[in-house]
């Protein structure tokens, strides 16, 4: 399972990096979203892969690590805020500059 | 408490005066006078205590763990400087009132002046050396503003920039020195530092510490080889020069020499560095001053030379020499301030400062001439004036060193510098007031207004009074300053005019006669100087260096910054990958010792789908709609991953965020070109694939390395204290709203800021909406389909109920403000999607932005409320409540906080999506609007 998760994180990172290097705003937004998935997953599994023991206090003695979960929870919401901001920035740039290239001009 | 107020008054005054300046020139002058005067009045009552040898201390602990505190100190040395800063400041304020012309904005001038005054007071009254350094840098900034006050003049701007570069750079070096000093002593407090002289001098870091601090001192006090900024700072209005270059700015450096004298001196390194720089500066300054045709240029180099003299006195390093240094600081301040003011009057009334044109002014302004003559006689060191006394002490100290056998030629050097001082003082008087008739003056000179002369008169009277009755006038103040400089009882000294016929007196006589001779043979000397040394100019070296630096930046800039985001991202990625892979270096085996857990078939399939969808997003990224669908698959599987690995809160959050993200991107897609051109060449694709591959391998490797290693967590504390301390069983939620509530408050603030940013970006945005999709079908503006519309309306109350349920149970079971907020947002967005904006808008309040503010306020107030009960910010409390039908449960104050989070999340999400959605309505093509109803 560990190898699977590592591969998933690797693929998400690679896809995210590749897309964020594209020239148009929309793929860059997609790339950033993929990268935030990768980062969130990475942070989350720092608490290791625990199955069936959510950090809700009950009778049992072992729980998954709540700390990375709390970190990632806010990270998810913040990434949404960031994605929204970047999207709107892209729209504004398109309106002001007349194109959707990340450099603000065509034919780079 | 008085000390911080004294320092604060000028700063407050600066703000007040800059505002008053817009309402009337005189108003700002009066306010400035009042501010300086009240600071002085607060200082005077302290003087009595300090002169009896006490030290007034005031401190306020700030970051004790980092050794940072706000602390002030008033001792004899500080008192002397504070008095000079405030008293001469008052004279300068009066003088400037008459000096500045109608065109010069007076409020701005006085605001800068007060800003500078406050910074200077901060330096001389600081007990904490880091705090001292902050004020030190503030003087650099405020003097930059003052020097460039006439900002339309290029020489003023250049001079100011040079002063800032040199003194600011020196300040940085001094910061390093102070940090080392703090490390050696273990404290940044002056009291501790002055008490640990032995420890500092024997420490291996002594030399670097000394050199770094001296760099700051020398740059500020214009010591060779950093002296060249001072003459260029003369582009400032003359009141500024009179203030900065007599009593304040340049004296800050020698103030530090005096301040740290007990801690750093008495070593050969100190003597050579300080004494050497002082001697060179003394000679170079005195020599160059003679050849300056500009009145202020002459005074500038004379200032440099006198600063060199003071530095040299401290460099000699005996207690008596240091005492003489303190004495000369006072004397130089009085006569140099009056000379600058006199030069300003001449410039003001005659229209030029060029001594080749200014001749024979005695006829036009005899009164000013007398004042200037007395002051420059003090500068030359003529008996019965204050300059004579300290110069005599200086000569005596050099002789003393010779008798010790250390430096036999020092008295000769001192006498030579003295002779040049006599010569340039003579030139100042003879060239300006006598020596024939004025040549081509822009205006006919006359005496200045009455009140403009007053500051000069006061200072000149002081020169005389100190010169004739030294012990009666400044004796006590000086004694207390000198003993606090030494941090010991004063050695035996004699403050009188007549010490009998001794070597020092002989040197004075030789200097006097030599100076007259030098002045008499000035013409051949000038010619010789013009043809030889005049071309050596430290300023041109500085400019050369500056140009080289700018040139280097100009070469470097296009390489690193190509104004292409794409390239910058690639460079950043490359750098990040390089740094990350460097971490693997010497790491050993990537695989750790931990046993692996088995893979189940469902997980394998899910992972394969995720990988397929991620790669699909990449491959299909030009078909934007398809790519978006692929992306949503990735998001769903990530949510399932959270479910699988015991994170129900995360799964819920991820799911609801996924919905809003996809809606958001769909809305955005509408306005972006649907068929992007193909543009990247094969080279760029390969480059990006390599970068992406490396990043992926690195991330996977790192995850693998961590996951196969043993696991230690700090979560135990949170798990143990969640129920007893936070009153909730859902530990993730308790961490968010309680243990790390402050972080969460920060995070919802970030969200709110993002929403405001988006709101502003969308303001007035006009985009052209497409009329066709990329398959050429024309856009469909049909009414909203009836079935989803009906279902969504039915669903709304249910969804809201679920949201409230999730919010309420969040403290104990998966849920909470974030998730409930997102669910609510999704429920409301569904209405817009299914029924259209027009329909929904009439049925729902659109006052969403205030909701964000209210939510933030609620969360903050929950935190503040704990102050009322004497607990730290955001301490939560909880109690057990019995609710009929529901039963016994706990209510924590953290729930109010969570409610704030909830409101912010709902507000932010809806604001973002609705604003984007409204854009569609605004920008829809004209011809289809009709068909909508």
A60 to chain B, minimum CA–CA distance in Å? 12
Whole-angstrom distance, CA of residue B314 vs CA of residue B270 = 9
What is the band of B883 on the pLDDT scale with cuts at 50, 70, 90? low
Q: For B602, which residue in chain A has the nearest alpha carbon?
A: A1
Q: For A82, which residue in chain B has the nearest alpha carbon?
A: B754
Chain B residue numbers touching A30 (CB-CB < 8 A):
617, 621, 627-628, 631, 665
What is the band of B931 on the pLDDT scale with cuts at 50, 70, 90? very low
Integer Rg of chain B from CA: 38
Overall residue count recorded for chain A in this entry: 108
- The predicted-structure confidence for B758-813, as pLDDT tens digits, reads as follows 988 888 887 777 776 667 777 666 667 888 888 888 999 999 999 988 888 888 88
Please report the DSSP string for chain A in residue order: -HHHHHHHHHHHHHHHHHHHTSSBHHHHHHHHHHHHHHHHHHHHHTT----S--SB--S-S----HHHHHHHHHHHHHHHHHHHHHHHHHHHHHHHHSS-BTTSSS--
Across the interface, whether the CB atoms of A48 and B642 are under 8 A apart is answered: no
Whole-angstrom distance, CA of residue B480 vs CA of residue B503 = 28
Average pLDDT over residues B656-665: 90
- The predicted-structure confidence for B568-615, as pLDDT tens digits, reads as follows 888 899 999 999 889 888 777 888 888 888 889 999 999 999 999 999
Chain A residue numbers touching B626 (CB-CB < 8 A):
none
Whole-angstrom distance, CA of residue B629 vs CA of residue B651 = 19
The secondary structure element, H or E, covering residue B303 is: helix B295-316
What is the band of B869 on the pLDDT scale with cuts at 50, 70, 90? confident
pLDDT value at B48 more than 50: yes
Whole-angstrom distance, CA of residue B328 vs CA of residue B479 = 13
Whole-angstrom distance, CA of residue B195 vs CA of residue B182 = 13
Across the interface, whether the CB atoms of B618 and A19 are under 8 A apart is answered: yes
Across the interface, whether the CB atoms of B596 and A2 are under 8 A apart is answered: yes
**Average per-residue pLDDT in chain B?**
86
B707 to chain A, minimum CA–CA distance in Å? 6
> Mutation test of the interface with chain B: which of A73, A90, A93, A100, choosing the one with the most B Cβ atoms within 10 A?
A73
Instruction: Quickly count: other Cβ atoms within 10 Å of residue B929's Cβ.
Output: 11
Lowest mean pLDDT among B128-132, B464-468, B524-528, B746-750: B524-528
Specify the pTM: 0.70
pLDDT value at B928 more than 70: no
Q: What is the pLDDT of residue A61?
A: 75
Chain B residue numbers touching A72 (CB-CB < 8 A):
647, 650
Chain B residue numbers touching A80 (CB-CB < 8 A):
657, 660-661, 909
A54 to chain B, minimum CA–CA distance in Å? 4
Overall residue count recorded for chain B in this entry: 933
Phi, psi (5° rounding) for residue B59?
A: -140, 150
For B65, the token pair is 């763990």
Whole-angstrom distance, CA of residue B330 vs CA of residue B79 = 12
Chain B residue numbers touching A57 (CB-CB < 8 A):
719, 722-723, 729-731
Chain A residue numbers touching B905 (CB-CB < 8 A):
77
A75 to chain B, minimum CA–CA distance in Å? 9
Average pLDDT over residues B2-19: 92
Q: How far is CA B40 from the centre of its chain?
A: 28
Cβ-nearest to B614 among A34, A53, A77: A34
Higher pLDDT: B843 or B828? It is B828
Higher pLDDT: B230 or B929? It is B230
Across the interface, whether the CB atoms of B731 and A56 are under 8 A apart is answered: yes
Chain A residue numbers touching B636 (CB-CB < 8 A):
none
In the block, tokens 């996951």 appear at B707
- The predicted-structure confidence for B117-152, as pLDDT tens digits, reads as follows 999 999 999 999 999 999 999 999 999 999 999 988
Cβ-nearest to B688 among A21, A38, A48: A21
Q: What is the pLDDT of residue B113?
A: 94
Across the interface, whether the CB atoms of A4 and B754 are under 8 A apart is answered: no
Lowest mean pLDDT among A20-24, B200-204, B467-471: B467-471
Q: How far is CA B852 from the centre of its chain?
A: 33
Q: Sign of torsion, CA B453 B454 B455 B457?
A: positive
Average pLDDT over residues B65-80: 89
């Amino acid at each position: 399972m560990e190898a699977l998760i590592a591969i998933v994180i690797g693929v998400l990172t690679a896809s995210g990096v590749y897309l964020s290097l594209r020239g148009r705003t929309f793929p860059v937004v997609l790339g950033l979203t993929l990268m935030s998935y990768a980062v969130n997953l990475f942070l989350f599994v720092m608490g290791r892969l625990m199955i069936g023991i959510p950090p809700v206090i009950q009778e049992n003695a072992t729980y998954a690590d709540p700390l990375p979960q709390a970190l990632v929870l806010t990270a998810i919401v913040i990434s949404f805020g960031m994605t929204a901001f970047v999207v709107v920035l892209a729209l504004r740039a398109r309106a002001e500059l007349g194109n959707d290239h990340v450099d603000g001009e065509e034919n780079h | 408490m008085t000390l911080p107020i004294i320092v604060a008054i000028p700063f407050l005054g600066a703000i007040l005066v800059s505002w008053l300046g817009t309402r009337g020139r005189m108003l700002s002058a009066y306010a400035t006078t009042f501010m300086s005067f009240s600071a002085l009045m607060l200082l005077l009552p302290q003087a009595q205590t300090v002169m009896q040898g006490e030290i007034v201390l005031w401190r306020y602990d700030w970051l004790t763990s980092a050794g940072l505190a706000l602390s002030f100190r008033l001792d004899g040395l500080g008192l002397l400087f504070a008095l000079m800063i405030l008293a001469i400041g008052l004279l300068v304020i009066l003088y400037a009132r008459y000096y500045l012309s109608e065109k010069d904005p007076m409020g701005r001038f006085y605001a800068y002046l007060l800003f500078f005054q406050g910074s200077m007071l901060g330096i001389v009254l600081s007990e904490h050396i880091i705090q001292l350094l902050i004020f030190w840098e503030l003087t650099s900034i405020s003097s930059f503003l003052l020097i460039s006050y006439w900002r339309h003049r290029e020489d003023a701007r250049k001079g100011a920039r040079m002063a800032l570069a040199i003194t600011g750079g020196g300040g940085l070096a001094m910061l390093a020195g102070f940090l080392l000093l703090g490390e050696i002593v273990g404290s940044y407090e002056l009291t501790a530092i002055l008490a640990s002289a032995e420890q500092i001098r024997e420490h291996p870091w002594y030399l670097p510490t000394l050199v770094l601090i001296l760099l700051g001192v020398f740059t500020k006090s214009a010591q060779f080889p950093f002296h060249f900024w001072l003459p260029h700072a003369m582009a400032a209005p003359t009141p500024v020069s009179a203030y900065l270059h007599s009593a304040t700015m340049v004296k800050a450096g020698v103030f530090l020499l005096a301040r740290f004298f007990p801690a750093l001196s008495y070593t050969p390194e100190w003597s050579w560095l300080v004494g050497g720089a002082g001697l060179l500066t003394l000679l170079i300054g005195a020599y160059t001053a003679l050849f300056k045709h500009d009145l202020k240029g002459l005074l500038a180099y004379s200032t440099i030379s006198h600063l060199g003299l003071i530095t040299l006195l401290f460099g000699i390093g005996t207690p008596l020499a240091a005492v003489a240094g303190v004495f000369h600081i006072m004397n130089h301040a009085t006569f140099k301030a009056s000379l600058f003011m006199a030069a300003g009057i001449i410039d003001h009334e005659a229209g030029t400062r060029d001594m080749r044109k200014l001749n024979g002014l005695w006829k036009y302004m005899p009164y000013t001439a007398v004042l200037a003559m007395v002051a420059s006689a003090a500068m030359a060191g003529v008996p019965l004036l204050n300059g004579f006394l300290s110069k005599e002490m200086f000569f005596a100290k050099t002789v003393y060193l010779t008798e010790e056998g250390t430096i036999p030629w020092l008295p000769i050097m001192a006498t030579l510098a003295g002779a040049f001082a006599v010569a340039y003082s003579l030139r100042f008087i003879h060239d300006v007031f006598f020596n024939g008739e004025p040549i081509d003056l822009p205006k006919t000179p006359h005496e200045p207004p009455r009140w403009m002369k007053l500051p000069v008169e006061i200072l000149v009277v002081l020169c005389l009074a100190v010169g004739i009755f030294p012990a009666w006038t400044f004796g006590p103040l000086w004694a207390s300053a000198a003993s606090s400089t030494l941090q010991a009882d004063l050695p035996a000294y004699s403050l009188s005019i007549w010490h009998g016929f001794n070597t020092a007196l002989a040197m004075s006589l030789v200097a006097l006669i030599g100076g007259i001779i030098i002045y008499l043979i000035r013409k051949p000397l000038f010619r010789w100087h013009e043809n030889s040394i005049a071309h050596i100019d430290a300023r041109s070296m500085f400019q050369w260096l500056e140009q080289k630096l700018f040139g280097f930046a100009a070469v470097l800039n296009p390489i690193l910054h190509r104004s292409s985001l794409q390239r910058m991202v690639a460079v950043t990625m490359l750098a990040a990958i390089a740094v990350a892979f460097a971490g693997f270096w010497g790491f050993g085996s990537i695989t750790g010792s931990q046993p692996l857990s088995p893979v189940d078939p469902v997980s394998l399939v899910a992972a394969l789908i995720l990988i397929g969808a991620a790669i699909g997003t990449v491959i299909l990224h030009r078909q934007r709609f398809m790519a978006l669908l692929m992306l949503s698959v990735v998001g769903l599987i990530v949510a399932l991953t959270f479910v699988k690995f015991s994170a129900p809160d995360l799964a819920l959050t991820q799911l609801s965020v996924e919905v809003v993200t996809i809606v958001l991107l769909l809305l955005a897609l509408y306005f972006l070109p649907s068929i992007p051109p193909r543009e990247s060449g094969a080279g760029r694709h390969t480059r990006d694939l390599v970068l992406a591959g490396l990043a992926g391998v690195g991330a996977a490797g790192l995850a693998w390395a961590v996951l196969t290693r043993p696991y230690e967590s700090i979560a135990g504390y949170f798990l143990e204290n969640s129920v007893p301390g936070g009153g909730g069983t859902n530990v993730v939620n308790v961490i968010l709203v309680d243990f790390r509530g402050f972080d969460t408050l920060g995070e919802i603030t970030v969200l709110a800021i993002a929403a405001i940013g988006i709101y502003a970006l969308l303001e007035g945005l006009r985009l052209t909406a497409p009329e066709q999709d990329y398959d050429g079908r024309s856009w469909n503006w049909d009414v909203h389909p009836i079935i989803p519309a009906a279902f969504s309306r039915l669903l709304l109350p249910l969804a809201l109920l679920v949201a409230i349920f999730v919010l309420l149970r969040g403290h104990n079971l998966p849920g909470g403000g974030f998730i409930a907020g997102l669910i609510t947002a999704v429920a409301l967005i569904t209405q817009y999607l299914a029924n259209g904006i027009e329909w929904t808008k009439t049925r729902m309040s659109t006052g969403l932005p205030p909701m964000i503010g209210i939510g933030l306020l609620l969360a903050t107030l929950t935190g503040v409320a704990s102050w009322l009960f004497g607990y730290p910010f955001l301490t939560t409390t909880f109690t057990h409540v019995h609710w009929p039908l529901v039963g016994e449960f706990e209510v924590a104050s953290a729930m109010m906080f969570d409610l704030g989070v909830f409101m912010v999340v709902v507000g932010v999400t809806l604001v973002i999506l609705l604003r984007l959605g409204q854009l569609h309505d605004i920008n829809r093509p004209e011809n289809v609007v009709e068909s909508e109803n």
